[in-house]
Amino acid sequence: MATARDVARRAGVSTSTVSHVFNGTRGVSKKLRDRVLAASDELGFEPNIVARTLKTNQSRTLGFVVPDVNAFYIDVLRGVEDVAGAAGYAVMFCHTHDDPTQEQNYLRLLRARRADGIILSPAGTYHDELDRLSRSAYPLVLFDCSVPGLSADLVAVDNEPAAHMAVAHLIEKGHRRIGMVSGDYVFSSSERRVRGYRRALEEAGIPFDESLVVSGASRADLSRRAVLELMSRSPRPTALFVGNNQMTAGAMIALQELGLAVPDDVAYVGFDDVDWASFLRPQMTMVAQPTYEIGRTATQMVIDRIEGDPDRPARRVSLEAKLMVRESSGGGVSLAPASLAQTQDRTSSRRLPSERVVLAEAARRPRVRAAGPVRARQQPM
């Protein structure tokens, strides 16, 4: 079995240079690095990661722990891997299924395997393992949402003004009865988005109606039920604000089942832009988070903790969200009371079927997609 000394001899460098290349402990020129890696490949050399970890007390690995696997977290992961790889760190991906117990298990496992730091989108609950990490000054960075009672670095968009921006857009279009499908309230981000929704209404002189906020619990199936419930209100909402991308599919399915067209019957704004939002018909108006930058920033922060001062005070980095205005928020309804009444009469005079009837009818008819892919074309934003 080849050793680091064999690689050094073949590459014509010192054994310390070989060590620096594989451990990332010091900068090595590209020319020397390529020579070492070529010699390593020729000899079939594999560095002993366990021995290196025991010697240096560093594994050069980071944990990336998230509650779900969806487009948002995958885009964040791209930013994480780019920064981590450039700094010589590998990334271990852990999926907790929104389960605080599973989150504790993964955090414990990552520590046992000597991960140097952890980037965490928390399940929302303060628990013993988070307390242990906090008390030991373990390098930990949260993203997307915070945990009550936990002092830790955090990277997130400011969710309240982001939601306010989305709802204000619908109000500017003339809507006054706006339903909201909120995420799971265990997440601080969901709570702040509801605050932004409420503040936008109140600033426009529209009374807050708590019956128009229904939780979809950040799930597609429950968001479908939430929209069916909202659309049974009288008078029904003329616009919807849906609190995250996991719930968009369920919301759109519900509107299709009810025979309501977007944006002609109901205007729609979602939170978390995704690649396919601009390829649907109608194209979806969405709040876009800078997901890649969230991943990059969180990773640089955790590396700074590992390689710098682990005891410095926790800090929060707020990034800016943008509203991607497309077709689903529509051309607006008239602000004139008569026109508004006519619009509501035209669409709400239909009897909206109960969920049971909708499901029975859906089972009898062929499945039709609410919106399908089309050839991409440039659209004004």
Is there a single domain that holds both residue 313 and residue 336?
no
The pLDDT assigned to 47 comes to 66
Structure tokens at 9: 């001899």
Element (H, E) at 362: helix 355-364
Quick one: 222 and 355 in the same domain? yes
Q: What angle do CA 74, 75, 78 make, to 5 degrees?
A: 90
pLDDT band at 336 (very low <50, low <70, confident <90, very high): very low
- Residue located via tokens 């993964």: 106
Residue 286 has pLDDT above 90, yes or no: yes
Do 208 and 313 lie in one domain? The reply is no
Q: Does residue 378 sit within a domain? A: no
List the CATH number of the domain containing 21: 1.10.260.40
Residue 17 lies in a domain: yes
334 pLDDT exceeds 80? Answer: no
**Residues 122, 104 share a domain:** yes
> Is residue 207 domain-shared with residue 244, that is, in the same domain?
yes
pLDDT at 116: 96
Task: With H, G, I as helix, E, B as strand and everything else as coil, classify residue 269.
Answer: strand
2-6, 207-211, 265-269, 305-309: least confident range:
2-6
Question: How many structural domains is the chain composed of?
Answer: 3
For 55-78, what is the mean pLDDT? Answer: 87
Whether residues 128 and 195 share a domain: the answer is no
Whole-number Å distance between alpha carbons of 266 and 184: 24
Q: Indicate if the pLDDT at residue 371 is higher than 90.
A: no
On whether residue 250 sits in a domain, the answer given is yes
Q: Which residues contact 146 (CB under 8 A, 6 or more apart)?
A: 122, 152, 154, 156, 188
Instruction: Tell me what pLDDT residue 61 has.
Output: 96
Residue 43 maps to a domain: yes
Q: Note the pLDDT of residue 176.
A: 97
Tokens representing 201 are 């209404």
Domain check: are 152 and 196 in the same one?
A: no
106 and 207 assigned to the same domain: no
Flag whether 374 is in a domain.
Answer: no
pLDDT tier at 311 (50, 70, 90 boundaries)? confident
Q: What is the model's pLDDT at position 380?
A: 33
pLDDT at 341 exceeding the cut of 70 = no
CATH of the domain at 127: 3.40.50.2300
Beta-carbon contacts of 48 under 8 Å, excluding residues fewer than 6 positions away, are none
The answer to whether residue 260 scores a pLDDT higher than 60 is: yes
Does any domain span residue 377?
no
**Do residues 107 and 244 both lie within one domain?**
no
As a whole number, mean pLDDT of residues 302-317 equals: 91
Do 192 and 128 share a structural domain?
no
Could you tell me if 192 and 178 lie in one domain?
A: yes
User: Can you give the residue range of the structural domain that contains 42?
Assistant: 4-47
Kindly report which listed range (52-56, 94-98, 258-262, 283-287) carries the lowest average pLDDT score: 52-56
Query: Are 274 and 233 within one domain?
Result: yes
